[in-house]
Structure 1
């Protein structure tokens, strides 16, 4: 089966799973943002943080036609202004994503001819497509955009998917679905240490060699083109779209974003940058403790991953000494991973955050973990706002709340990084998005919901454009020994199917688990998380970059429940 056919099958299966499992919309009063605030709009008597470290108590922010017109404690409110009471609310600049894949799809791989030579593929077959534009493969209606906007993000630099040189990035705002929302195109060139399967270059070292080759040939092409334009007696240059697409990088008009996943890939990107001289952005950085001096010398922009490793530090009481020693090393590596942001701050290295490869549902939890491990709240906010605005060159109109800047802000019910904070409103490009919030339970109420109440049968229902559907979650056990089975409508149309519920965890009224949907020879991983309130469950189903959908369930009564 051709790769492009597999991709279409996967997409259709994912859509099928969405229709089966996505449930009646919950906890959003007006998430559409279809009404843009065209008249003057004021948020009054709020605690407004205009930039990291600068907070005004009892302040008012006024905006109109997508722009902030005033902010402070003595703001004159024009007649006819719509007013939102900011009592007990906290206003912050809208978050900016340094590298996002929300709504971005991977282009289909080109077909290979019968006489295909894997040692000498075309640029496109080798994953070298610097001429591609991410906006040509972006769905602005994708649910992942709404998920990240609900988390507080209002602007993002979209990065293209693909091979070793996958194309040009673009900056968009998460505003109206009826606007292009484009702030800038061709803002960076995206590169990865990802070779094409079965062709050269197929290894990270091969990618490095090929990147050098493309870069050097682009330099020769640019030089030849300039000489030909100003001299006679020269052969005309051969037009090559790969080399031409590299010219902005050669001229240092745009940087190269290298996606890295460990310190070795970071070293390789730094080596290429030092050798060739291009402007470098390191995205998804996770291991920096041994690279501080190299990072400082390179002047590279650092985009720290918002994803944290899973805690695998539990040890067995009857473990061998060798197992205990191995567990100790794992614990040390895990703790070090949590301190990456604080280490960069301590070393004076300015960084931003990138959401690519992370989940919107884990965003704030991971930030709080970073803060617990030494990252200051001011630097955390800066990495979400002004640092990324400066990294993207948009600080003149974004990153802080000031007169004349875009009306992008996130409004919470409590100080941003506190455990009780919930996003109540997001304003993106002047469009207002409202989200329903839940009152926090008291400690006594929380203690009444423990693992013992989870066991039993839970019935979930689905009400989607594809029709109504449902299934059963059967959970048994208690404490850390929970196991279960979930049934669902088979995506292939063959009745119902079932899967084991994996990694079932319950803490502070929160339930989470995952399961795999098998169809067409593929396994699609589905993550579920949400809140339990007595015999009711309200949460979300997440499929990574394809977005999240609400999920509700009710526990079926048994003799034990009466």
Structure 2
């Protein structure tokens, strides 16, 4: 539980002065120690109670973390504190069907002296159904706030581990001082990842081992029942694995199989048909070719809320050779097909929700907008974030829509949710309001380029914030044909002044600028991704630092300086 905090402490020492933690500073009360009041009303806002419902001007009354009413003529108790919502749009809080937010990886067990690679102990082979995601979760992880900033209020957390990692749990992304657990042991997390250097080392081996564990669990359960009623029988072997698997074999909980490819989807569905357990397909990335198989299986579906990287497409040059153009065309088609897959699920009538496992929170809204641009309806997108995951997780009575009696989990945005300029200003979790900074959408600089993009070549003096405090440096960008190169200086982690690193993956899309660089500290390389908006010589960005979270990064173009050649 304390591992992320330890990492952060080490990181602060290594990169002193470069980054600073301020995500909590955006909140009026990030700890939730002082909720505004037990009773308050957000008045005269545009409220979207559920997917497919038109927005209506209404007041939302909240008391003790529950929605007490939604309407235009509510009678407010005397103790009610009112919050003007005239310019705000209210939506149900998002629900992640599966997420690794706040999850830390457990320590690998030591191998016994008599270890045999062809028959390893279950724990070493990655078969740990008794583990709970709750034991690996920390609400203090900065990724919790990162996910909440983009509208998520509830998440089904999945444990980290091997082929059978353990049991999932459903938690609120709320205050550090609240009881955020909603349900424990809600599904069994499994995947086709084999064990390195031992059995089962392949996907086929995983399938065989899963069958063995499943069948032995059923057999043990049957023998245990007979042993308790019939005298003279040999005592059945009861292991932690078989005990923990009984919730699956009895149909109490589903198996949540991570299946990123079409082949893995077919394998999971074949296992489900053979054994009869309840199935949730999660982490789907390639699935268009098996939509009929998925629909026939009746399995619940969680799509990975991520789209392929489009940097290679943006880097394509018009003067390329015919051979390169043909290759580029295939790359472009693969990209277009990938981001249109979600709309194919909608067309096929397959309800789905989203998984955020392995997804950067800062990329989520871009992914949603790209899916919508490629034929996914806004109604289906909102359903995949609210009512669908609520149904899949058994939360429909308490979450997924804005109704009297349900948890006060809300998103308050500055515009309709999927509008290009919309920003999330407040997120309400279990009745606690978290405030986030919003900025006017900046227009492209009048000194931009002929293609409508802004001017970025030159030297940028920047400031950044991190757990270690404020840092400064110079971001130097040079234009090289249709692409960009450059360097960035930062405080050397060794404490010997400034260090310099090349920047890579520089992408300018209109007024949006992103780039990457690597910080080396004590022999460890840390990848840093920076993304933000450029306007009139200023750069307001967010810096994502590996597993340590996201931090502010602000730069000013210095007209008196010339970027190094």
Alpha-carbon distance in structure 2 between the residues aligned to 1:355 and 1:22: 25
- Indicate conservation of the 8 Å contact 2:96/2:156, yes or no: yes
Please report how far the alpha carbon of residue 460 of structure 1 lies from its aligned counterpart in structure 2 after TM superposition: 3.1
Corresponding residue of 1:23:
20
Q: Which residue of 2 aligns with 1:3?
A: none
Q: Hey, what does 2:385 align to over in structure 1?
A: 384
Pick which of 471-480 and 85-94 moved more.
471-480
* Cα distance change on mapping 1:18 and 1:91 into 2, 3 Å: farther
Identify the residue that residue 101 of structure 2 maps to in structure 1. 102
Q: 1:245 to 1:126 in 2, by over 3 A?
A: same
**CA–CA distance in structure 1, aligned partners of residues 138 and 419 of structure 2:** 33
**Structure 2 unaligned runs (5+)?**
none
Secondary structure, counterpart of 2:344 in structure 1: helix
Q: Residues 8 and 545 (structure 1 numbering): CA distance in 2 closer, same or farther, change over 3 Å?
A: closer
Structure 1 match to 2:372:
371
Deviation at 1:202, TM superposition (A): 1.6
Task: Check the 8 A contact 1:367/1:380 in 2, yes or no.
Answer: yes
Shift of residue 517 of structure 1? 2.6
Take 1:219 and 1:260, find their aligned partners in 2: how far apart are those partners? 25
SS in 1 for 2:83: strand
Instruction: After TM superposition, list the pairs within 5 Å mapping 1:149-168 onto structure 2.
Output: 149-168=148-167
Q: Does 541-550 or 276-285 show the bigger shift?
A: 541-550
Q: Deviations over 1:423-464 (max 9, x none)?
A: 011100100011121112346769589767422333333554
1:10-30 deviation line (CA, Å, top 9, x unaligned) = 776655567543237388252
CA distance in 2, matches of 1:436, 1:10: 27
Secondary structure of 1:482's match? strand
- RMSD, aligned α-carbons: 2.7
1:332 shift after superposition? 2.1
SS in 2 for 1:21: coil
Name the counterpart of 1:421.
422
Q: How many residues align?
A: 556
Distance 2:266 2:167 in 1: 23
Instruction: Structure 1 unaligned segments of length 5 or more: list them.
Output: 1-5
Q: Tell me, yes or no, if structure 1 residue 32 matches structure 2 residue 33.
A: no
Find out whether 1:501 has 2:503 as its counterpart: yes
> What is the CA–CA distance in structure 2 between the aligned matches of 1:21 and 1:58, rounded to whole Å?
45
Is 1:486–2:488 an aligned residue pair? yes
Stretch moving more, 476-485 or 401-410? 476-485
Secondary structure of the 1:287 match is coil
Equivalent residue of 1:293, what SS?
A: helix
Contact kept in structure 2, 1:38 and 1:66, CA below 8 Å: no
CA distance in 2, matches of 1:24, 1:216: 50
What is the SS of the residue equivalent to 1:54? Answer: coil
**Distance between the aligned counterparts of 1:535 and 1:118, measured in 2?**
60
Aligned residue for 1:290, secondary structure, equals helix
User: Under a length normalisation based on structure 2, what TM-score does the superposition of the two structures give?
Assistant: 0.92
Q: Distance in 1 between matches of 2:556 and 2:445?
A: 22
Structure 1 residue 420: Cα displacement? 1.3
Q: Distance in 2 between matches of 1:464 and 1:501?
A: 20
1:146 aligns with 2:145: yes
Task: Report the secondary structure of 1:110's partner residue.
Answer: coil
Within a 5 Å distance, the mapping from 1:183-222 to structure 2 comes to 183-222=182-221
How do residues 385-400 of structure 1 correspond to structure 2 at under 5 angstroms?
385-400=386-401
Report if the CA contact (8 A) 2:442-2:535 is conserved: no
Deviation at 1:509, TM superposition (A): 2.7
Mapping for residues 275-424 of structure 1, pairs under 5 Å: 275-311=274-310, 312-313=312-313, 315-317=316-318, 319=320, 321-424=322-425
1:477 aligns with 479
**Cα distance in 2 between the residues matched to 1:525 and 1:443:** 29
Farther-moved stretch of structure 1 (196-205 vs 514-523): 514-523
Q: Deviations along 1:522-562, whole A, 9 cap, x unmatched?
A: 4332211122343432221113554212222334452569x
